[in-house]
Structure 1
Amino acid sequence: MDEYLCLSTTVVLTPRRAGVVDGRDNVVEVLLRVQAPDAPAGHAAQRPPQAIALVIDRSGSMAGQPLAEAKRCAEYVISRLRPTDTLSLVQFDDRVRRLWPAQPLGDGSVQRAAVEAITEGGSTNLHGGWLDGAESLGTVAGHGLKRVILLSDGQANQGLTDPAKIAAQCAQWASRGITTSTYGLGHQFNEELMIAMARAGGGSSYYGDTAADLMEPFERELELLGNLCLRELRLAVQAPDGVEVQVVNDLPRTEGQWHLPDFAWGAEAWAVLRLKVPVTSLPPVGTAATLVRVSVSGRTPDGEAVQLERTGLSVPVLSAGSFNALADDELVTRRLIELAAADALTRIRAAAARGRWKEVDRMLEEASRQFAGNEWVASVLAAMRSIAETREIERAMKEMMYSSTRLRDRLALREEGLQFSVDDEAQLPTFLRRKRMQGKSDKQSGPTA
């Protein structure tokens, strides 16, 4: 892939209001957008080889349709890879078995046969299965994309089961260039563990409410991987002395840098910075205050390191009257609303976990009123209310957690409009769609009441 094209990625900083007030402390909210250029002609044909480890839960709870759909998804992954791509296959229940080592796919016939032969087994050594998948990719040469794709419907009840320790191992493997995406199925898997693994492991987290909903998440990830512009994005922020910086998205952070999601041609990764600017940091009225400087680094799909041009933000110091006359930027406001809705869903999920359904109903009603002006958020909350009415606690817990996560870390279309239209969304690549329900495919979910 042409590194020059990746370097034409731009970093844009937009404050909610283009100024600060003289004579007092200020809180300044800034939208950072990392924007990819349009895809170059023939980019799909130029995609460098990828290495994928498919790790499939075959525990007893997967018997029947869940395992059949998991195998169908695995075969779909195989069909989307190229003969030069590397694939390893791992199955696990209480025992881990590597069905196929990390080797070039070729025509895929042997790997398909291995997938077809998977049958249900015993309990769930989730960590052991994932680790074998990661280790299988450790033998693959080069710096191209290497990803473990883990599918499970259950709890980790054999081998290492501590979520913090498992997530820490995912982070360690990610630092070696082997990332992790997780796929949960149904209502019994541990969503905290699966999301933590993907978050620490530099991949994506998905779930299917039913086995029939599994295929769309696989399509979503493979479509993204086939259109990658940059991966392993890292955000470094520098602010003047005394200025405090918070990343409102609550993105993962290591070694003083925040992790942005991998992103595709024509898309943008984003974060909202909240800057606390003390009055002592402000220059006189009428002059410009430098608030922050940012730098973004990453890798091209074939592993070449890229450092984007540093970007800074300065705004004028204004009188209170002049500042109050400024309008809020619509896009910054919309992203802040999404993040506030994510926080609300986290609080509502905590109430659901305690079985306080009247409190859940009240909080959802309040959130629906508060965020009624944002069509996408309103549609998400409407879906949550319909789920809450069923009092299915496991389903509600998962949908709220995955929706909250997606509100915080989603990729956006580079020129995303302010309005949310279901028909317009259906025309977008799957990885850019603002879904109303994360556990349902668009075909399965239907209109939201």
Structure 2
Amino acid sequence: MTQSKPAFPTVELIPLHGAIVTQQPMTLDVLVRITPPAVALKSDRVPLNLSLVIDRSGSMQGQKMHYAREAARFAVENLLPCDRISVVLFDDRIETLVPSTLATDKNTLLEKLRHVHSRGSTALHAGWVEGGVQVSQYLNPAQLNRVIVLSDGLANVGETRPDAIANDVHGLAQRGVSTTTLGIGNDYSEDLLAAMARSGDGNFFHIESADQLPTIFETELSGLAATLGQRVSLGVKPGNGVTVMDVLNDFEKTDTQRYKLPNLMVGSPIQVVVRLQVPALSRSCELMQVRLAWDDAEQPSRQVLRAGLELPLVSAEQFSDFPADAEVQEQVALLMAARARREAVMFSDRGDYTAATDSLSRVRVAMSAMPPSAMLMEEQATLEDLEGDYQSGAIARARKKAYSQAYNLSRSGKSQPRRSMDSK
């Protein structure tokens, strides 16, 4: 066993206000906070079974190829001897540089990576398939199995349809192999890489500089090592007469119309905001119930946890005694900032860069009027930086940053993992 038997996560339902006004309809935001159990991970953590799938097409020459090699090096250096690693290269051909092997001889692995150079076209799908094959050969439900794709371009050889590729990625995730994607530079298809990560139960990162790589891979590998639950879903059932107006995270849904959540990881709460329309009520009742479900590698059956929310009814005069909860306000603001980024992408795709900038500016100004917090101040700075990209005409870079930041905000409440210290 790599850790003590995991306890269940906790599920808190935190309303924007602690009461509702009697006989008066209202809109109510509810923060669903899912906190994984605080178990202590031991050094003999669950082994990782990874495949690094690296784009070596002609456009990767120079700095981009350097970033890809550095990313692979960071991954290899942080593996344990019990972990498995394979390295697949793709251009118009597929080369398995390192068939799946235990990470016991890191020097040999690093030496092979040093000699990777760019050439050819971009058979991204075929490269990903080979990575999946390498991981699947040693698939073990008790391990954490993932394909990590690094690319700077568009799929232009073999299967190139984003929907078809995402569907294949989803199928592999259903069999226990997830997919994370890292986009390098300003030419890759963020629509494709984000769709692969979303369908593959993984992460999506935009890499602008080598300075980001240590933090990104620390986030990725430590997250894998700390995973307590996979295939996580959230069902939301409104009470009698209550309707779910929105789930601000914009999660995709399962076939049973539950929301697909990120994996349960030690130290990483999942925060979901549900917007309810509450009718005029004359007596207190349950406003909503949630059902959290996940797979635990140490348990034979699917795990399920339920929680409900009921609030007191008060007069309009008494309602002032129940001020807005600051944590709920903050999370709503962050998720609306994620939506503003998606809106900016939509406007920029139409060539309306002024509207794209305005979308970001409006949410940033609204955020500045809220009670200050470290998270909101950091988010305002990130939005201002993104606005600057649109205003200066760096449209491709802005779109990729907006896309990846929105993806990460919806899942983790953070635009993207940051370095722990400023770049030198």
Structure 1 and Structure 2 fold alike (TM over 0.5): yes
User: For residues 440 and 310 of structure 1, what CA distance do their matches in structure 2 show?
Assistant: 34
**Alpha-carbon contact 1:3-1:300 (below 8 Å) kept:** no
Alpha-carbon spacing, 1:303–1:190, altered in 2? closer, same or farther (3 Å): farther
Q: Which residue of 2 is the match for residue 317 of structure 1?
A: 313
Alignment: residue pair count = 415
Correspondence 1:112 to 2:113? no
Q: Equivalent residue of 2:34, what SS?
A: strand
User: For residues 344 and 196 of structure 1, what CA distance do their matches in structure 2 show?
Assistant: 19
Q: Which residue of 1 is the match for residue 274 of structure 2?
A: 273
The one of 325, 328, 332 aligned to 1:329: 325
CA positional deviation for 1:313: 1.1
The one of 100, 103, 107 aligned to 2:101: 103
User: For residues 402 and 323 of structure 1, what CA distance do their matches in structure 2 show?
Assistant: 39
Q: 1:432-447 maps to which residues of 2 (within 5 A)? A: 434=414, 438=416
User: For residues 310 and 319 of structure 2, what CA distance do their matches in structure 1 show?
Assistant: 15
Q: 1:208-357 maps to which residues of 2 (within 5 A)? A: 208-211=207-210, 213-245=212-244, 246-255=246-255, 256-279=257-280, 282=281, 284-285=282-283, 288-300=284-296, 307-357=303-353
User: For residues 336 and 343 of structure 1, what CA distance do their matches in structure 2 show?
Assistant: 11
User: For residues 251 and 54 of structure 1, what CA distance do their matches in structure 2 show?
Assistant: 27
The one of 53, 70, 73 aligned to 1:72: 70
Unaligned stretches of 5+ in structure 2? Answer: 371-375
Q: Quick one: which amino acid aligns to residue 328 of structure 2?
A: V
Alpha-carbon spacing, 1:168–1:13, altered in 2? closer, same or farther (3 Å): same
Q: Which residue of 2 is the match for residue 23 of structure 1?
A: 23
Larger displacement relative to structure 2 (229-238 or 383-392): 229-238
User: For residues 144 and 112 of structure 2, what CA distance do their matches in structure 1 show?
Assistant: 24
**Alpha-carbon contact 2:288-2:309 (below 8 Å) kept:** yes
User: For residues 3 and 222 of structure 1, what CA distance do their matches in structure 2 show?
Assistant: 17
Q: Which residue of 1 is the match for residue 402 of structure 2?
A: 400
Unaligned stretches of 5+ in structure 1? Answer: 412-433
Larger displacement relative to structure 2 (205-214 or 341-350): 205-214
User: For residues 323 and 213 of structure 2, what CA distance do their matches in structure 1 show?
Assistant: 43
Q: Quick one: which amino acid aligns to residue 267 of structure 1?
A: S
User: For residues 141 and 61 of structure 1, what CA distance do their matches in structure 2 show?
Assistant: 33
TM-score by structure 2 length? Answer: 0.90
Identity percentage of aligned residues:
31
Larger displacement relative to structure 2 (21-30 or 46-55): 21-30
CA positional deviation for 1:182: 0.2
Q: Quick one: which amino acid aligns to residue 297 of structure 1?
A: A
Q: Quick one: which amino acid aligns to residue 386 of structure 1?
A: G
User: For residues 442 and 61 of structure 1, what CA distance do their matches in structure 2 show?
Assistant: 31
Q: Which residue of 1 is the match for residue 14 of structure 2?
A: 14
Alpha-carbon spacing, 1:399–1:304, altered in 2? closer, same or farther (3 Å): farther
**Alpha-carbon contact 2:293-2:305 (below 8 Å) kept:** no
Q: Equivalent residue of 2:92, what SS?
A: coil
TM-score by structure 1 length? Answer: 0.85
User: For residues 169 and 397 of structure 1, what CA distance do their matches in structure 2 show?
Assistant: 25
Q: CA RMSD in A?
A: 2.5
Larger displacement relative to structure 2 (298-307 or 12-21): 298-307
Q: Equivalent residue of 2:317, what SS?
A: helix
Larger displacement relative to structure 2 (367-376 or 122-131): 367-376
Q: Which residue of 2 is the match for residue 51 of structure 1?
A: 49
Alpha-carbon spacing, 1:160–1:31, altered in 2? closer, same or farther (3 Å): same
Q: Quick one: which amino acid aligns to residue 70 of structure 1?
A: A
Q: Equivalent residue of 1:194, what SS?
A: helix
Q: Which residue of 1 is the match for residue 392 of structure 2?
A: 390
**Alpha-carbon contact 1:234-1:297 (below 8 Å) kept:** yes
CA positional deviation for 1:64: 1.9
Q: Which residue of 2 is the match for residue 422 of structure 1?
A: none
Q: Which residue of 2 is the match for residue 87 of structure 1?
A: 85
Q: Which residue of 2 is the match for residue 419 of structure 1?
A: none
User: For residues 72 and 366 of structure 1, what CA distance do their matches in structure 2 show?
Assistant: 38
Q: Equivalent residue of 2:285, what SS?
A: strand
User: For residues 405 and 312 of structure 2, what CA distance do their matches in structure 1 show?
Assistant: 37
1:210-254: CA deviations, max 9, x gaps? 355444322321122233343332222233344333322011221
**Alpha-carbon contact 1:145-1:301 (below 8 Å) kept:** no
User: For residues 141 and 9 of structure 1, what CA distance do their matches in structure 2 show?
Assistant: 26
Q: Which residue of 2 is the match for residue 38 of structure 1?
A: 38
**Alpha-carbon contact 2:248-2:336 (below 8 Å) kept:** no
**Alpha-carbon contact 1:134-1:173 (below 8 Å) kept:** yes
Q: Quick one: which amino acid aligns to residue 410 of structure 1?
A: S
**Alpha-carbon contact 1:7-1:306 (below 8 Å) kept:** no
**Alpha-carbon contact 1:69-1:212 (below 8 Å) kept:** no
Q: Quick one: which amino acid aligns to residue 376 of structure 1?
A: E
User: For residues 348 and 265 of structure 1, what CA distance do their matches in structure 2 show?
Assistant: 33
CA positional deviation for 1:75: 2.0
Q: Which residue of 1 is the match for residue 128 of structure 2?
A: 130
Q: Which residue of 2 is the match for residue 377 of structure 1?
A: 379
